[in-house]
Structure 1
Amino acid sequence: MNLQLTFIGMVVAAMIAPANGQAKVGCQDSCGNLTNIPYPFGTTKDCYYNEEFLITCNNSFTPAKPFLTESNIGVTNISLDGHLHIMQYISQDCYDKFGTPTWNNQPSITLSKFRISSTENMFTAIGCDTDATIYGYQGDREYASGCMSICESMDYISNGSCLGIGCCQTSIPKGVDSYDVTVGSFHNHTKVWNFSPCGYAFVAEKDTFNFSSSDLSGLQNITELPVVLDWAIDNVTCEVAKKNSTGYACKDNSRCINTDDVSGYRCSCLDGYQGNPYLPSGCQDIDECKDPKLNVCEKVCVNTIGNYTCSCPKRHYGDGRKDGKGCVADQVFVFKIIIREERPTMKEVAMELEGLRMMGKHPWINNDSEETEYLLGVASETSRFALSIDTMTVYDSIRAPVAVPIDGGR
């Protein structure tokens, strides 16, 4: 069953994936399979921002189970980007072959501060004789929507499609803080019972769902599915929050972000920093130079606080950036190498000759320049000569040849 395997895989991944954050010093940072509980969340009064961020760790289970506040809403993952992953019941409406109901439930959820994510979830109905409805509230306003899924044969069902034949999906609006899900049937599944004995309806994280025809009968053993909640700090904007210096949640090297999906604001580390923006000194500098994927330097990378700079090695010019001018070897220095006004090490010779070749290919260099052609020609001859013998003979305009062993080159 494709859906079942997909959901189980996503739930396990959410449970074991490390979160990007830290708990307050001295506070419990995990509970059972929830491996990271970052502040503003916490398990005790001194460890969370306020009661809305309480994670109750119930040790009567093995392993222990984390729940949101004092509810029965199980938590599987917390991220500092404003998402909280929970588990929520699926609605089922099942019949026997005579059309007699065998099972029906109507799950619901009510949240006080957090909201059902409109960007991360979808409302889905599955079945070939299915009429599903979701009722809820957006603050003081009522909200209702529905989905109908009908099919007379498996021949009409297309895997991956939720356009009303075997599967139907619709979006969730912003700001939903509670909902009830109901699912019913037009003919008690009597006409499709042999391949679709039940109807199903649920709100679930959209990235965990990929419809398959096997889901028509394969969801009977699934009771809960992952749902994503949006969370934010307080019920005020950044402009208002900043006026209260003692209660303002964003700490050093962070910025405040107004949210439009849930009332309140969030904090984020500034560019060039990473960590937990809700903790003092929680946002730490990123050393971009340690990871080539984080910088565009061609030769030399220098880490700075919150950023980095690129430069070129000695006797090169340019901005040092792969997306800029890069680093080009100085023609004068290469010419000095060839006529022996100064005697570099063999390593320097190799580096400068390679730089000269690259210079000849550089779009800023006049490839028709007689000087460039001459130097490249001499460089090539010099390079071939240096590689053909065990010692390198260097000439200047006055003295006789001087043999310099390669192994002892400076």
Structure 2
Amino acid sequence: MKSIFILLTFTVYTLSISANTVSFLHKSSHKVKLSDAAYPTALIIKAQFEYPESTVFNINDDKIYHFYTLNYRNQDYYLWIENLSHDIEIDLERISKQSGYLLLLKQEWYKKDFSDQSTELNRIHTLDMYYKFAVDSLLKLANNNDDYRSDNSYSTIVWDKKSAKKLFNYAIENFDSTIEDEYIHFVPSYIEYWHLLYKLYYKYFHTTSFKGLDNPRVKAQIEKDFSLPESKLLTFHHFFNSTLTESDLKANLRLYESKLSPREIEIAESLIQKKAIQNTILNSEIDFIFGLDIDDALKAYLLRDGNEKKSLLIFWSTWDRGMNSEFSLLNEIKDEFDQTYNFIHLCIDAYEQPEKTKSFVYQNNISGHHLFPQEEKAFRNSIYRKSLKIREFPFYSIVDQNGEILESESIPLSVSNRLGNKLKYYSKK
């Protein structure tokens, strides 16, 4: 623990050497949050000082563009800093136009004309407007036309192979992908657009593109499927995203660091740090249950005294290699729904190598309760398996306090967040 503290202290110190401060004045009852505009969940800017009526951030001045998302009073703003040669002070209660920076509500960003601003700001704004229109058009088409989706429930669009191919082809035929290489990691809607196309192409349409391929061959496959510069963005997205575990992210960074830009290295290192913090929090909340009968063990757990939460049952198998990334995403859902749901994991083949399965659980910091059947027929004979017709994994079921099934989901989190929207829906019931 001591060595971790020293490392973090050193990191903060080295970053602050070449930084200027941006101070936000505000009312004492409100918080200010600052993050990168293009990667808001990966690159969060930590406040250097938090006073009752002001929050101070150190902004590293060696970035190419200073484009941020600011959240204040539950409203999102875009902040563009043109000149970081001096410290900046911004009054959030009296926002006015000042030289050196631009701050405006996010919805206003899409209504403004920035032709009189700097070339860089105007170009990023133009690209962001174009790709926001592209994303909105694709999602509107999928929402309104059955040919471009397979299902639309719980505020989540889901595709099958046919509809994904059709929507992907529509995007390629109707929207231009021309963009300068220097902007690919700075335009929020451009990133959102290509992440959507990555999902359509690799998660729904060409689902076996990477089967049996090692990392260099996966990279080569993406570069074969897509042209520059989108192939560069998609390759980075494949190897550095929130579905990956901390160990996978570290391995990918070691493999590709020499080929990454400073911007990409910053994003990758931030993702690794976020996973490390998350793992530290979750590691102490793991508990195992062993039983011959899955149904009886579940019933006993769900009906025990004092159980006031609904539960999410997670059926999974050790032979599914995708469970590493699935559990990584599930950990993020647990952060959001920990107060309203218990999380019960049922590994259907844990009887084969229980100690190895326990080791996998600890290595991936899979917090919650874990039910391990002690014999092969336990899952095969389970009423849950028969009534839910469980054939693929992972498989999720939301149950109430009495063990009654409310809803099930078979689409992995790595493909769709429909499970999260279902959990949100039933948390209010």
Q: TM-score, normalised by structure 1?
A: 0.19
Higher strand share: 1
Q: TM-score, normalised by structure 2?
A: 0.18
Higher helix share: 2
Point out the structure with max Rg over C-alpha.
Answer: 1
